[in-house]
Amino acid sequence: MRTLAHVLLLGLLFALPAAGADLVGGLRVEGTRFVLPDEEGRLLTGGDLIGAELDIGPVGVIRIDAIERDSGARFDEVWLHTLQLRTPGSMVFSNFCTPDPYGDTRAVVYPGYFDEALRYVPDAARFSFSCVSGVEAKCLRWGYLPWRTAPNTGESLAPYYETCIRLARADYLGDNRPSTRDGTSIDVYDRVGVQQRTPGLDMRFEAGWNTSGAVCVHHTRIPANLTLAALRARRGGRALPGLGDTCNEHQAQADGALLYNRSRG
């Protein structure tokens, strides 16, 4: 997994070979795509930017090799970027992302960033990258787009996006100590119309989640990484309404869960 820290848009240089000149200023991210006005005021996006090189200073130069709509995303506004990175001092481009378990090296770009407390900060002057193996990209692809509203309730999906990050990382206590494993299958669902339970899976209810972590935990996702007993000992003074059999979907909802998940445990 590789996630690039958020990038300040001000002062970035976007070089478009097809335009015959370097274009400076006006670059922004809308949804999950770059948008750049050209010298005549037309908006360049999507395929218009293939071959463009983005100079982000000490990180290096990123080249956009391909952009395609994510056919597997919950909503049709997620775009995947094939990126190459040339580090400072190098003349050679290589994959920006390491492959996920299926060999996918594409990335998602999105506006805003996560702060040190893993809170999503919407910011029109900053954007972030996440490889598809990263939880930020996974949650966007699952449909928790923080700039959208929930289909069933009309409420903002921003807290659901933050919650999804905790869930995907199995960060039960919200203390930035994930306990999952790459490639582990989980079933994520909610009550606002983004994701539904997948029928027919051999999985049990694992936990209910909000922006602070798990509201209760029935079983840990990877017992080899973290047992329920170890979680109980680690929680210290943090109140969890239920660990073990006292935690179920009904209890999690009563305790304010935004998202739920099942796993094999």
Nearest one of 125, 128, 113, 86 to 2, comparing CA atoms: 128
Nearest one of 40, 33, 41 to 78, comparing CA atoms: 33
Whole-angstrom distance, CA of residue 135 vs CA of residue 120: 13
219, pLDDT greater than 50: yes
Output 37 or 200, whichever has higher pLDDT: 200
List pLDDT tens digits, range 2-32. 334 344 333 333 333 333 223 335 788 999 9
Nearest one of 148, 171, 170, 168 to 159, comparing CA atoms: 148
Answer yes or no: pTM beyond 0.95.
no
How many other CB atoms sit within 10 Å of the CB of residue 172? 29
List pLDDT tens digits, range 70-129. 999 999 999 999 999 999 999 999 999 989 888 999 999 999 988 888 889 998 888 889
List pLDDT tens digits, range 39-87. 777 888 888 889 988 887 888 899 999 999 999 999 999 999 999 999 9
List pLDDT tens digits, range 160-184. 999 999 999 999 999 999 999 988 9
Cβ atoms of residues 41 and 8 within 8 Å: no
Residue 63: per-residue pLDDT? 92
154, pLDDT greater than 70: yes
Length of the chain: 265
